[in-house]
Structure 1
Amino acid sequence: MKGISDALDIDRATIVAVAMNTPIAVSFALQNPQRVDALVLSSWDELDGYPWLEDRRTSHHASFVAGNVLAAR
């Protein structure tokens, strides 16, 4: 992503990632925070390996399974 951004002369961008691209987008944002205006992620199941996101996903899933949607917020 950095190479493409550099080649296109893009200093900062909003990154939208879906499904299997979410780990790439998260890695880029963590390594290059100065280059990211916003990060939009869809399909959180693909974020295995990022403990703080995995904990959040697991707790939200448990709340939804229990039928307590408000607890997931």
Structure 2
Amino acid sequence: MTVNTDVLVPMTEANQNFSKVARLVDESGLAVILKNNKPRYVVLDFAAYDQAQRQEMVSAAADQLIEENLEAFRELAK
């Protein structure tokens, strides 16, 4: 995964200046908080999080539907 370096915030800075983290999220959609110089946490805009959750739910439902009807799909593919 590629991370935009403009959205990286060290943990100490995030603790001291959370408004900077919030501003980054408002501008970029997310902020990545570093712990020991490694990406550790992601702060997302709630709308982006909600959309990702919905996509995950749809994907899981589609996978379940395919799994439950795999034989019928194979028969139709002949």
Fold match by TM threshold 0.5: no
Higher helix share: 2
Larger radius of gyration: 2
TM-score by length of 1: 0.32
If asked which structure has higher relative contact order (CA below 8 Å, sep 6+), I would say 1
